[in-house]
């Protein structure tokens, strides 16, 4: 989470669009900061900005050229391995991207790092960091590791920025937030998580629903 001082002309939706690629996520910022009126913020006011994985709205027909343009826009390259990173995260590596779909664009610059210890595997790290061991490929590609290779102890890995995600299976948002964040300030955590996932009714989730938990 970072701090941001409101500038002249700022709106919450504008800040959300700049930070997340989706202005509709402004309620996550409002709930994190307990703003009674999201339309009223003051120049100089300091806001806490939760980390939510940046999103891209697919607005054109899917094609190899369109995917290259997305990769260039967010990562400054047309490298196919970098392209595969966001395709894997968004579940579109082997299926068509429909116009109107939201794609998750993990952060690869200025991210955290991790020093591997004995016994750690990419699958184990992916499960711990992102809640999904299948995202081991994300870590592999971000660190230019050969397919099937495990990092040696002492290796410093780039930790791509991506929110943890959970698949709902008889859970409530309250229990999931308690597991993700602990007992502190549960109502704020629930409000931010609900806003980040466009959940209008936090007490009503469906089995198999995938939720992303802001950092």
214 pLDDT tier (thresholds 50, 70, 90): very high
Kindly report the pTM of this predicted structure.
0.88
35-68 pLDDT, tens digit per residue, is 989 889 999 999 999 999 999 999 999 999 999 9
pLDDT at residue 51, as a whole number: 95
pLDDT at residue 203, as a whole number: 81
* CA atoms of 167 and 208, how far apart (whole Å): 5
CA distances 68 to 77, 78, 79, 83, 100, Å, are 8, 5, 8, 7, 18
- Residues 40, 66: one domain? no
Domain with 96 in it: 54-105
162-204 pLDDT, tens digit per residue, is 999 988 888 889 999 999 999 989 999 999 999 999 998 888 8
Count of domains for the chain: 4
CATH number for the domain including 26?
Answer: 3.10.350.10
- Residues 119, 133: one domain? yes
pLDDT at residue 200, as a whole number: 87
- Residues 137, 97: one domain? no
CA angle 31, 35, 37 (to 5 degrees): 120
Residue where a domain stops, chosen among 62, 80, 105? 105
Compute the average pLDDT of residues 128-157: 93
Residue 120 has pLDDT above 90, yes or no: yes
CA angle 126, 165, 62 (to 5 degrees): 90
Residue where a domain stops, chosen among 18, 33, 52? 52
- Residues 98, 132: one domain? no
Q: Shortest CA distance to 29 belongs to which of 14, 44, 8?
A: 14
């Amino acid at each position: 989470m970072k701090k941001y001082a409101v500038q002249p002309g700022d709106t919450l939706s504008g800040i959300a669009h700049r930070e997340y690629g989706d202005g509709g996520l402004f309620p996550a910022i409002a709930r994190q900061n307990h703003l009674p009126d999201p339309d009223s913020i003051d120049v100089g006011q300091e806001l806490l900005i939760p980390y939510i994985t940046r999103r891209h709205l697919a607005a054109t027909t899917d094609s190899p050229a369109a995917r290259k343009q997305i990769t260039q826009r967010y990562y400054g390259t047309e490298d196919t391995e970098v392209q595969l990173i966001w395709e894997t995260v968004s579940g579109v590596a082997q299926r068509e991207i429909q116009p109107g779909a939201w794609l998750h664009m993990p952060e690869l610059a200025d991210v955290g790092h991790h020093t591997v210890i004995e016994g750690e595997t990419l699958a184990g790290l992916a499960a711990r960091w992102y809640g999904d061991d299948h995202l081991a490929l994300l870590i592999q590609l971000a660190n230019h590791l050969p397919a099937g290779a495990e990092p040696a102890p002492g290796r410093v890995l780039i930790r791509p920025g991506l929110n943890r995600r959970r698949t709902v299976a008889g859970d409530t948002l309250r229990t999931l937030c308690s597991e993700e964040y602990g007992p502190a300030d549960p109502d704020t955590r629930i409000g931010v998580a609900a806003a980040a996932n466009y959940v209008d009714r936090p007490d009503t989730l469906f089995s198999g629903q995938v939720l992303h938990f802001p950092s």
